[in-house]
Structure 1
Amino acid sequence: MLVCGNDILIPASEQGYGVGAFNFVNLEMLKSIFESADEVSSPLIVQASEGAIKYMGLDICVSLTKAFAQKYPHIPVALHLDHGTSFESCKNAIDAGFTSVMIDASHHCFEENLKMTQEVVQYAHRFGVSVEAELGRLMGIEDNILVDEKDATLVNPKEAEIFVKESGVDFLAPAIGTSHGAFKFKGEPKLDFERLSEVKKLTKIPLVLHGASAIPDSVRESFLSSGGDLKGSKGVPFEFLQEAIRGGINKINTDTDLRIAFIAEVRKVANANNSEFDLRKFFTPAMQAVKEVIKERMQLLGSANKI
């Protein structure tokens, strides 16, 4: 059943658990996500970035999601635009059938971020669509755009309180020290949980953790054993994800882990038989690997058995 983001995240915030928001770029990834939610009885957020929409087509993203939502009517699912960069991008997604959007104006000054978010909120709420915004900025690759360390800033809790009150935004992604991609930390992992708790106390709305891929050992080892190279990548440890949920995080974005798991299995098939060209032989084990990652994550975040 296709619902807005609030229908999923408000209960998560009230009950203190997290919901995975899983990115997709093709049918195989979306199928894996829905099947995982079905198998562990978890509510679900599926999300497409502007890059994914350009790759798949806006209408295809919506049509595929609606088809799976009809196949699994017992699963509450929100279709979310990840990192919308403009009002027009968010409007197009809303008009096409997305039930949740993110306007990411975090690279602008506070006032411009607020203004852009207010504009999107005003339009989205007319259609019952929820809105996410971001304060502070994460390092790393953000939909193929590099954010340098010098441009990354942590959220100011007092600004977050003002921003939420004046924008009317439904959920907020506060920058607390994570980064996008597979290379999150130069030394030991460190997140500002105290800052996170203060933001939650002041805003009292669902919060979002971007850059939350964990790169678990099983996924890393599978990728390396297939001939891949992760070049010393570091993800967010599982215990950090759980601590973040205790601090007020309710939506946990997950993309990199799924890509790594998928490609590792594709490469294994290619390595084992260089004459193989049946796509199903490549994608079937890849989808199963993705499902294992997602189901483990749903259990970890606490969303399993919530429907």
Structure 2
Amino acid sequence: MPLVTSKEMFKKAYKGGYAIGAFNVNNMEIIQGIVEAGKEENAPLILQVSAGARKYAQPVYLKKLVEAAVEYSGLPIVLHLDHGDSFEICKACVDDGFTSVMIDGSKYPFEENIALTKKVVDYAHSKGVVVEAELGRLSGIEDAVSVSERDAAFTDPDEAVEFVERTGVDSLAIAIGTSHGAYKFKGEPRLDFERLEKISSMLPNFPLVLHGASSVPQEFVEICNKYGGQIPGAKGVPEDMLRKAAEMGVCKINIDTDLRLAMTASIRKYLAENPSHFDPRQYLGPGREAIKQMVIHKMRDVLGCSGKAPESISSL
């Protein structure tokens, strides 16, 4: 099966009240862990490539690894550009075979964001590629994305409707209280479900996206810190909140930090317990398995997308 777009995936997810996991990929072991989980859970996947990943691994390596994952797994897999910051990078990814691109014009004024997004949509749609955009701004840091909390703005429902109508975008990332990175909340975690409900009601059957949706499991934070890490106070989005969002029109939930924590905790622990080992396969293997188990947990207990691949395959 070739790479697919997210269009039919999202239709089924919206109707079924679940979300597709969008997992950031940076190297072979991360891709293998995610795909092994998807295969075991029989779930569709979105593998997304950020600016940091493109810089670290080079797009051609990641694309070939994802193509290998499709061939190996037989799963419906979307290759998605995460946080494209210009028309040029989106065009390059479309031309290179990506099946989905995100144009992030959220840093621009509303009209400029619309103009940029519309330009990307027109080009991508002409090539059969779907487009995600962002309206509203998330606080926190992820790769090249950095927005201070005081500048963060939640998505305005009326603007969301106008934005979708004028751009023709296929999905929309909204800001309702999540943030990038491992330090999402200083106090009690809160998401603006009233705002989400209003946006969903005003854009019926339209797929929404949550960025910055890692939960930062404390057991992995503790393992990292126990074996030499220094990440005190990290706090993520409670998983029950993500499950609720998936039942309210959020069809794509982005997860990156949790994968990093799982892999790093595993590697730190392995190296501390096996100081004489120096073969990368010895510690990357457990790291890959940690990724797999994290993704399985997300699919089963948070996203609700386990067992959804067969239906997706038949209609794509």
Matched residue type, 1:41: N
Q: Deviations over 1:81-115 (max 9, x none)?
A: 00000000101111111100000000100000000
Q: Does 1:25 align with 2:11?
A: no
Q: Secondary structure at the match of 2:232?
A: coil
Aligned to 2:104: 104
Aligned to 2:117: 117
Aligned to 1:260: 261
Q: Is the 8 A contact 2:51 2:144 kept in 1?
A: no
Matched residue type, 1:89: I
Deviation, structure 1 residue 139: 0.3
Q: Deviations over 1:53-102 (max 9, x none)?
A: 121111112111111101112x1110000000000010111111110000
Q: Secondary structure at the match of 1:79?
A: strand
Q: Unaligned stretches of 5+ in structure 1?
A: none
Q: Which moved more, 1:92-101 or 1:211-220?
A: 211-220
| Whole-angstrom CA distance in 2 between matches of 1:266 and 1:297 | 21
Matched residue type, 1:159: E
Q: Is the 8 A contact 1:263 1:286 kept in 2?
A: yes
Q: Secondary structure at the match of 1:117?
A: helix
State the identity %: 49
Q: Deviations over 1:136-175 (max 9, x none)?
A: 0000003234210121000000000000011000000110
| Whole-angstrom CA distance in 2 between matches of 1:142 and 1:261 | 17
| Whole-angstrom CA distance in 2 between matches of 1:91 and 1:203 | 27
RMSD over equivalenced CA pairs, Å: 1.1
| Whole-angstrom CA distance in 2 between matches of 1:268 and 1:216 | 16
| Whole-angstrom CA distance in 2 between matches of 1:219 and 1:202 | 39
Matched residue type, 1:228: G
Aligned to 1:218: 219
Q: Is the 8 A contact 1:91 1:120 kept in 2?
A: yes
Aligned to 2:92: 92
| Whole-angstrom CA distance in 2 between matches of 1:37 and 1:25 | 17
| Whole-angstrom CA distance in 1 between matches of 2:159 and 2:38 | 36
Q: Does 1:79 align with 2:79?
A: yes
Matched residue type, 1:140: G
Task: State the TM-score, normalized to the length of structure 2.
Answer: 0.94
Q: Is the 8 A contact 1:222 1:261 kept in 2?
A: no
| Whole-angstrom CA distance in 1 between matches of 2:219 and 2:46 | 24
Matched residue type, 1:103: I
* Aligned positions of 1:1-307 closer than 5 A: 1=1, 2-73=3-74, 75-204=75-204, 205-299=206-300, 300-307=302-309
Q: Which moved more, 1:226-235 or 1:297-306?
A: 226-235
Deviation, structure 1 residue 298: 0.5
Task: State the TM-score, normalized to the length of structure 1.
Answer: 0.97
Q: Is the 8 A contact 1:5 1:129 kept in 2?
A: no
Q: Secondary structure at the match of 1:172?
A: strand
Matched residue type, 1:172: L
Q: How many residues align?
A: 306
Q: Is the 8 A contact 1:8 1:78 kept in 2?
A: no
Deviation, structure 1 residue 222: 2.7
Matched residue type, 2:271: A
Q: Is the 8 A contact 1:87 1:116 kept in 2?
A: yes
Matched residue type, 2:136: G
